């Protein structure tokens, strides 16, 4: 009779995978956030500086996610445009007037989209995918 001793290394393997995934997603999300900020139009810097990223998930849940976004409402207007310049053509037509924080009145037909997030994403997508693949290759 042969004695067989089973050693379970599954937790060590899962931990190594989790560490690697956390690190590479944090790195990639940070790079994408930085590129979005570089692409952003700057008047006051409020919108540009509002972008943040967060990495969530776990090996046990078999789900990871990197979220990059802004809590500033203007980020949506910058990305998709407003009024006659809205990218889907669904903006207000004919223009409107508004009063700024200094009390001055302005008339506008809208704001052209800057596409800061989309341009960052499309320019970095292939590079970030390769980085993730290379990082996980040796596991």
Is 37 within 8 Å of 53 (Cβ atoms)? no
**pTM of the predicted model over 0.85:** no
Length of the chain: 139
30-89: pLDDT as tens digits: 999 999 999 999 888 999 999 999 999 887 778 899 999 999 999 999 999 999 999 999
Number of Cβ within 10 Å of residue 24's Cβ equals: 20
Is 57 within 8 Å of 67 (Cβ atoms)? no
């Amino acid at each position: 009779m042969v004695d067989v001793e089973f050693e379970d290394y599954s937790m060590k393997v899962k931990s190594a995978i989790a560490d690697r995934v956390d690190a590479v997603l944090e790195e990639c999300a940070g790079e994408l956030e930085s590129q979005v900020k570089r692409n952003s139009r700057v008047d006051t810097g409020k919108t540009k500086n509002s972008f943040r990223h967060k990495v969530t998930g776990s090996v046990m849940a078999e789900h990871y996610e990197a979220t990059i976004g802004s809590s500033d409402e203007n980020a949506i207007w910058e990305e998709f445009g407003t009024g006659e310049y809205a990218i889907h053509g669904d903006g207000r037509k004919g223009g409107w007037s508004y009063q700024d924080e200094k009390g001055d009145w302005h008339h506008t037909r809208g704001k052209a989209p800057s596409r800061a997030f989309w341009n960052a994403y499309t320019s970095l997508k292939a590079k970030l995918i390769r980085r993730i693949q290379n990082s996980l290759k040796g596991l």
